[in-house]
């Protein structure tokens, strides 16, 4: 029997990247999944990838929604419960970063970018978790948040607001874990290092810029000791482990780093990434 048989999972940000790989994996391992994002075409691509694995169409619910809005979040939870009748696994994966239109970084970056990044990377996680809580308590379910190695403890002057949002998310993971374990719900997180996804494009970087940075990191052992940028499935495997109570039941409120060894050396910080991205 597949390990997630009978479980229902909601994976935010599953129209691309890490969320897509996670939704496909959980579905392949037996879960019914709600997939979501704002981009309906990319969401359909995720759905087709799931169906290609031979999974029944009624095991997948695709919901186009803007997670930055309460209406979008209500639609997501309500339609999941309406279709599948329960919720066992919430993966708070949707997230992004914003580069300043005038190239400013750190404390000079416009504060509107701070508001935007906190709204999607942090506030939406708080409110979606609030809305999902009663269903997860009923199911004695699991929450997996997608953080980042950018959360620290190293400084992130080029991506300060993004890093701050992920540091806040780590505290949210720890605190809600203690809150919710009293109701039988486990909360954990994964902290990826660099992973090839759509995030470069979503941030507003020019085409190919993220890939350029990835190949720079791969060829510098002080950036990624393993010499390889992550693939979405590398992170999806950790998320599935944390969502699997049989395998990870005694892990509560932790964030597991999956980064090819980057945080052991953190040489990325020694290079001026903005000049690599824009040269």
Computed on alpha carbons and rounded to an integer, the radius of gyration of the chain in Å comes to: 18
- Whole-angstrom distance, CA of residue 229 vs CA of residue 277: 16
- Name the catalytic one among 147, 165, 248, 262: 147
Set 15, 124, 148, 165: catalytic member? 148
Which residues make up the interface to ligand NDP (CB under 6 A)?
Answer: 13-19, 37-39, 42, 66-68, 93-96, 120, 146, 148, 192, 194-195, 197-199, 202
Nearer to ligand NDP, 136 or 214 (CB): 214
Nearest to 25 by CA among 269, 273, 233: 233
Q: Which is nearer to ligand NDP, 29 or 44 (CB)?
A: 44
191 forms bridges with which residues in the sheet? 257
- The count of other CB atoms within 10 Å of the CB of residue 37 is 25
Smallest gap, in angstroms, from Cβ of residue 149 to ligand NDP? 7
Active site residue 175: no
- The answer to whether 40 is a known catalytic residue is no
Q: Least CB distance from residue 229 to ligand NDP, whole Å?
A: 8
* 148 part of the active site: yes
**Active-site position among 7, 32, 47, 162:** 162
Q: How far is the CB of 246 from ligand NDP (least distance, A)?
A: 25
The SS3 call for residue 109 is coil
Any catalytic annotation for residue 166? yes
CA dihedral 205, 173, 240, 223 (to 10 degrees): 40
Q: How far apart are CA 92 and CA 100, in angstroms?
A: 25
Indicate which residues carry an active-site annotation: 147-148, 162, 166
């Amino acid at each position: 029997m597949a390990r997630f048989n009978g479980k229902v999972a909601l994976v935010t940000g599953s129209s691309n990247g890490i969320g897509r790989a996670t939704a496909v994996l959980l579905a392949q391992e037996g879960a019914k999944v709600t997939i979501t994002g704002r981009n309906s075409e990319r969401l359909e691509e995720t759905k087709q990838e799931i169906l290609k694995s031979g999974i029944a169409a009624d095991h997948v619910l695709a919901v186009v929604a803007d997670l930055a809005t309460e209406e979008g979040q209500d639609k997501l939870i309500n339609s999941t419960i309406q279709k599948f009748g329960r919720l066992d696994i919430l993966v708070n994966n949707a997230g992004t970063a914003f580069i300043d239109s005038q190239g400013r970084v750190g404390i000079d970056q416009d504060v509107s970018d701070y508001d935007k990044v906190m709204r999607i990377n942090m506030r939406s996680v708080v409110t979606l978790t609030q809305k999902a809580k009663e269903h997860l308590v009923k199911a004695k379910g699991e929450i997996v948040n997608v953080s980042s190695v950018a959360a620290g403890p190293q400084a992130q002057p080029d991506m300060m607001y993004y890093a701050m949002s992920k540091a806040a998310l780590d505290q949210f993971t720890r605190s809600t874990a203690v809150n919710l374990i009293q109701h039988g719900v486990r909360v954990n997180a994964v902290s990826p290092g660099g992973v090839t996804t759509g995030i470069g494009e979503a941030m507003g970087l020019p085409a190919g810029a993220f890939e350029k940075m990835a190949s720079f990191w791969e060829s510098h052992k002080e950036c990624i000791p393993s010499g390889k940028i992550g693939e979405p499935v590398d992170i999806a495997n950790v998320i599935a482990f944390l969502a699997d109570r049989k395998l990870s039941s005694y892990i509560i409120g932790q964030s597991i780093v999956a980064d090819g060894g980057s945080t052991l050396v953190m040489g990325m910080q020694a290079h001026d990434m903005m000049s690599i991205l824009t040269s």
